Every structure is written in structure tokens, then in C-alpha cells.
Amino acid sequence: MSLSYDAICAFLYREARHLDDREWDAWLACYAPDVTYWMPAWDDDDQLTEDPQSQISLIYYPSREGLEDRVFRIKTERSGASMPEPRTGHSVSNVEILATRGDEVDVRYNFHTLNHRYKITDQFFGTIFVTLRADGAGMVIADKKIVLKNDYIRQVIDVYHV
């Protein structure tokens, strides 16, 4: 796959913008149907959990269907944790291409998200590992692992926080 560094960065910025602008359908379109979306938790020994099937995760969806269900709940106000919807601002930085193989590219980048709700602004930060897959004229996220580095989370974490 011959995706330029600039095209990869533009895609990552666009995905973040869709979250900030609450463009849920456009955000979902960034993901492959078979995507794994995973945010492991930190265990008592300050190590990330390694198996979403047998250990605690902050978020885990084994396919886009889970993301679609989450977005449905947000859009139809069936998510008490998302009401009122927070205002967010995502920053993406330190984008690195780690590996390329066939039609896929592994990328690592950092994120910082500001989240404003109920007159309080929280921030979330960490590192994201994605596998991008060529899809027609563009790309989609085939795998996403979010390493949230916040030590304390005072609310339910959701897809729009990262």
C-alpha cells in the first residue's frame, strides 16, 4: 500500500474532527466492519491488561457493530452517560508509521482530548495504535488500541473521549 505520511495524518485528523463535530455516521465510516476497538485497563501492578476476553477493559468492541450500537445510543439520547453530550476538542500528534504490509499500515500516535460537560473541563491523553487498511480510494481503521494514560477517571469513558 502506498499511502503517504500526509494522507495518513489527514485521515487521523479527520477522524478526530468527526468526533468533535458529532458527525457520527462519518466517524463510523472511518472504521472497517471487522475492526477491533480496544482500550485496555491498567491492572494493580501498573501494567496494561492483555486479553480483552478474560481481563478488564475500559472499552472493547470486537467489530464495528459495537461502535454502531454505541453511536445509535448517543444519537437517540439512550445513553445517560452521554447526556448532555459533551463538547470535545481532540489533538493528534507524534504520528509514526511503524510497519507496512500489503494493504495495511501500522501507525502510532498520541492524543490529547479536552472534554467539557456540566461546567467542568476534563482532559484525557495517551497513545493510540491503529492498523489502517486501503479501502477503495482511501483507508479505514482495521484495528485500534487506545492506551489511556490518565491515572484517574472521574466519569464513564466513551468513544468521544479518545
DSSP lists the bridge partners of residue 140 as: 133
Q: Which residues of the chain have pLDDT under 50?
A: 1
Q: DSSP strand E in 7-86: where?
A: 31-40, 57-61
Query: Considering the entire predicted model, what is its pTM?
Result: 0.91
C-alpha cell at 130: 491503529
What is the predicted pLDDT for the residue at 1? 47
Which H or E run includes 126? strand 120-135
What is the predicted pLDDT for the residue at 61? 95
Task: Quickly tell me which residue has 493528534 as its cell.
Answer: 92
| Helix ranges, 21-162 (H) | 24-28, 64-75
Q: Are 162 and 124 in contact (CB under 8 A)?
A: yes
CATH tag, 5-161: 3.10.450.50
Could you tell me the residue ranges of all domains in the chain?
Answer: 5-161
What is the predicted pLDDT for the residue at 118? 80
- pLDDT one-digit tens code per residue, 116-149: 878 888 899 999 999 999 988 789 999 999 999 9
